[in-house]
A and B are shown apart, each in its own frame.
Chain A
């Protein structure tokens, strides 16, 4: 059993701002390391969790549209151009567009034990 000895304060850290009642989550640093990460963390998790961002992918243009949409339609305070550029660059670099496929292979967690050796999964 992996047990982290931490203080009681963390143990009882229920309900981050706006968290649904009845839901308990440990707020973790879900964003990968990289230039602009702290800006993204600070800007993009005021209303929603980081996982809403990190489960998505897209080109720089697509991410720019999303970041603008947050400001125009979803109540995010406006940010200046350099901040937006930092955010968009970070997201497009680390959460870039998926490779095209009409239908991709099943994900590793859905695969049976392979009797043959196998190339590691691309992701």
Chain B
């Protein structure tokens, strides 16, 4: 009790100090962010604020066809030495204007009176400098508005543009005819908002597809159990780059074979039809659905050969498919008329397949060789005597270390162009070899190393680093890579989607129930089967939910990614803001609001339905 009473003044002083400190920080924030309401009170600001707000309140969506009546009336500013001429030329039916006095010094006011215009029309009344009545440059801010007789009177101040030549005052009175229709701005906005929505759609689709596999290697609970002996890790590390290189070469060769077959549509079609059939038979033969006895060595090699052949046939089929879709897309693009975009899609899809096939081949071969060698290492370290494995490790691990760091060094060389192989090739290789040697010396040969956690940490770091780069910044890079336009926006948003979704997804994987995982594992299922049967069913609802959330974000992001050249409506919006064309900008803001709100609504409805 006593103690508490003693402590209380200290506590008050402490609280007071903290409050004071908080206030000081806040005050400094005012200084830094230049909080200044003085500006707001100035008349000039208020005037333009009113003007802009009013323009924003009238989005440029509907417009009438307009007819104009333009009258130019000469005026001398200042009055010429020869004296003033009568300005009014009396005409009976045509519209005309009368200026009194007929000439004026700069800064003086004149009265402009218009007759015979159409009733109830409005339009600008402008001073035209120079002696050319068709000059598009005009000065002044006055507006004329006619009454029922087509008559108006406006007092106008002459600008400080003295000239000996004759100058003009122009009245342009406009009136609407016919019924309202969508303005040009509305049409442009429609085009761009469609582009925006599809930009978001493509980015979300690509992002989701690539984020799903990534989320599994970024999930702690799945990766923690992945442990391998050093021999297996080493062999696998060597297998990946080797496999990628081999795969790339082979698939390129298949590509050449495919190119040699030509781009005859009939040949393409035949191969595209036959290849999957061959693959089907190959796979059916080489991968029996269920077997209880271990097949013989010869059988195993035979199967491996058939699988390899099947894969080669598959890649040939892919190349032919690309060629087929490219040529048929080209034909369809013109043949389909308004549905030509389907042809365009086919063409581009074929192109994507053609570009991705060698990459795919490289990765597939890398993965295969990596996992085969890894398994050999696993089996080796289970069966071979300890001393044998130790020797193997002492030889292989330095090689693997040298390979990895050598490749990394080459990447650095490519990025920074250091040009010194001692620094970027031999140095890293030596360091890698040394690190590998140390690892091989100090690990017990049969110990399982937590390689899963290493992969997990690397992936997580990579994701976090990339996630901290805003999509807008990525868009700037991609604009340089693929040019200004929506495609750059798709790439930037897609990449950002991959990294942020992979993080969110992996957290969902980490929070699944462990029971089913254990049960599936107990049936003898391997890792991949466990993921498919125990993990995936559990994560479907949160994945859908997060994908929709991301789709929401992407729609919003795609509206502004155009600010940096990433396509979509942002480009138009920025342009109109810079041109002070606030009514058009308002139309685009309205479009964005409508799209974002409806996407919000749709996604919430879908989420309720499926999750």
Our verdict on whether A and B bind, yes or no, reads: no
B interface residue numbers (CB < 8 A to A): none
